[in-house]
């Protein structure tokens, strides 16, 4: 058996400078200059990540005069790809993600490629509003499970300020429609196992239109067209599975969850479907924590594609 070809290189992806990780049919593209994002995720040449066509290749250098053009009709730039936000959304400054963390360039701290795996670690600037600083360490493991490639994103959030901050980390990945998202539900939990988030389409409406199919053990959301909904899910193991169709690879993510701990939006997992642009999101939360001065919150998400 021959090992899959593997490489880590600096290239351009949709106009941005990127670090490109290749292993067999999998290609991951990290763009440090736009919030340290995992901007591309392709398998066998099929790209699965959404990027906003109008923003491809563009960056934000901190000049506020750029901001309105980057935001367009939204309250902040919808760059695309996968990023780390600070939760809860209700605490966002001016109702938008922390600008310095979400849109400014991040620093590349480390890259590596060896027999065990390859990866890149990137770090945000210190947020001028909150004093928080994020890092993302992506490790693509050399081994495969059932033909699927696996990588881990280890997040850290440091409070560099002097005031305690009550917050959590929130890994959000923008993916191209159409797709079906399956979330196993826990059989024992003190609270609800799924919920529509405030201001979004009720569960009864989603069930009536066939978008949501759920039972005591699982929930399935069909993200097929423009429709504004967002659902949260309880979980025993943080598992979410995404099927893009019979000829496409399956994507999964998993994270440690504990339903006895508080989460910023009530439940640890979320799926959002965009009403206009052609994307949906799979979202994973860490528990809420009060970070004192100098304290660090760490959280990991394990992702697989293929198989």
Of all residues in the chain, what percent carry a pLDDT higher than 70?
A: 99
Query: Does the pLDDT value for residue 117 go beyond 90?
Result: yes
Read off the pLDDT band of 288 (50, 70, 90): very high
Give the mean pLDDT of 215-238: 97
Q: What is the pLDDT of residue 45?
A: 94
CA distance 205 to 202: 5
CA distance 240 to 252: 6
Read off the pLDDT band of 232 (50, 70, 90): very high
CA distance 79 to 102: 9
Q: What is the pLDDT of residue 307?
A: 76
Q: What is the pLDDT of residue 137?
A: 98
With beta carbons less than 8 A apart as the criterion, state whether 269 and 281 touch: no
Q: What is the pLDDT of residue 146?
A: 78
CA distance 136 to 109: 10
Q: What is the pLDDT of residue 174?
A: 98
Give the mean pLDDT of 218-241: 98
Read off the pLDDT band of 1 (50, 70, 90): very low
Q: What is the pLDDT of residue 2?
A: 43
Closest residue by Cα to residue 172 from 155, 188, 150: 155
CA distance 197 to 67: 28
Domains of the chain: 6-306 (2.70.98.10)
Give the mean pLDDT of 103-127: 97
What's the maximum distance between 2 C-alpha atoms anywhere in the chain?
56
- Geometric angle at alpha carbon 47, from 61 and 152, rounded to 5°: 75
CB neighbour class for 285 (10 Å; exposed up to 12, middle 13-18, buried from 19):
buried
With beta carbons less than 8 A apart as the criterion, state whether 201 and 221 touch: no
Give the mean pLDDT of 118-125: 98
State the SS3 of the chain: CCCCCEEEEEEEECCEEEEEEEECCEEEEEECCCCCEEEEEEECCEECECECHHHCCCCCCCCHHHHHHHHCCCCCCCCECEEEEEECHHHCHHHCCCHHHHHCCCEEEEEEECCCEEEEEEECCCCCCCCEEEEEEEEEEEEEECCEEEEEEEEEEEECCCCCEEEEEEEEEEEECCEEEEEECCCCCCCCCEEECCCCCCHHHHHHCCCEEECCCEEEEEECCCCCEEEEECCCCCCEEEECCCCCCEEEEEECCCCCCCCCCCCCEEEEECCCCCEEEEEEECCCEEECCCCEEEEEEEEEEEC
pLDDT tens for residues 164-207?
999 999 999 999 999 999 999 998 888 899 999 999 999 999 99
For 18, 49, 80, 147, 284, the CA distances from 37, given in Å and listed in that order, are: 10, 11, 8, 25, 15
Q: What is the pLDDT of residue 4?
A: 67
* Of 48-62, 69-83, 136-150, minimum mean pLDDT range: 136-150
Read off the pLDDT band of 3 (50, 70, 90): low
pLDDT tens for residues 139-172?
999 988 777 899 999 999 999 999 999 999 999 9
């Amino acid at each position: 058996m021959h090992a899959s070809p593997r490489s880590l290189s600096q290239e351009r992806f949709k106009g941005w400078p990127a670090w490109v990780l290749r292993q067999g049919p999998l290609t991951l593209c990290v763009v440090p200059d736009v919030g340290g994002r995992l901007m591309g995720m392709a398998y066998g040449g099929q790209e699965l990540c959404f990027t906003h066509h109008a923003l491809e290749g563009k960056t934000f250098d901190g000049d506020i005069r750029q901001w309105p053009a980057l935001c367009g009709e939204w309250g902040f730039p919808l760059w695309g790809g996968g990023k780390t936000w600070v939760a809860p959304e209700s605490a966002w400054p001016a109702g938008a993600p922390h600008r310095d963390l979400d849109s400014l360039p991040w620093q590349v701290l480390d890259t590596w490629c060896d027999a065990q795996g390859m990866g890149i670690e990137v770090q945000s600037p210190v947020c001028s509003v909150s004093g928080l600083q994020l890092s993302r360490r992506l490790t693509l493991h050399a081994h495969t499970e059932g033909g699927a490639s696996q990588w881990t994103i280890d997040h850290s959030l440091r409070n560099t300020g002097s005031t305690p901050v009550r917050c959590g980390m929130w890994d959000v990945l923008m993916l191209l429609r159409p797709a079906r998202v399956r979330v196993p539900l826990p059989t024992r939990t003190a609270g609800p196992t799924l919920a529509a988030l405030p201001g979004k389409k009720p569960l009864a409406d989603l069930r009536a239109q066939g978008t949501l199919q759920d039972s005591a053990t699982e929930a399935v959301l069909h993200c097929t067209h423009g429709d504004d909904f967002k659902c949260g899910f309880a979980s025993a193991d943080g598992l979410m599975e995404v099927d893009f169709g019979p000829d496409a690879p399956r994507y999964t993510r998993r994270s440690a969850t504990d339903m006895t701990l508080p989460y910023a939006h009530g439940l640890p997992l979320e799926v959002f479907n965009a009403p206009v642009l052609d994307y949906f999101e799979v979202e994973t939360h860490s528990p809420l924590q009060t970070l004192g001065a100098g304290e660090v919150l760490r959280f990991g998400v394990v992702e697989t594609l293929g198989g």
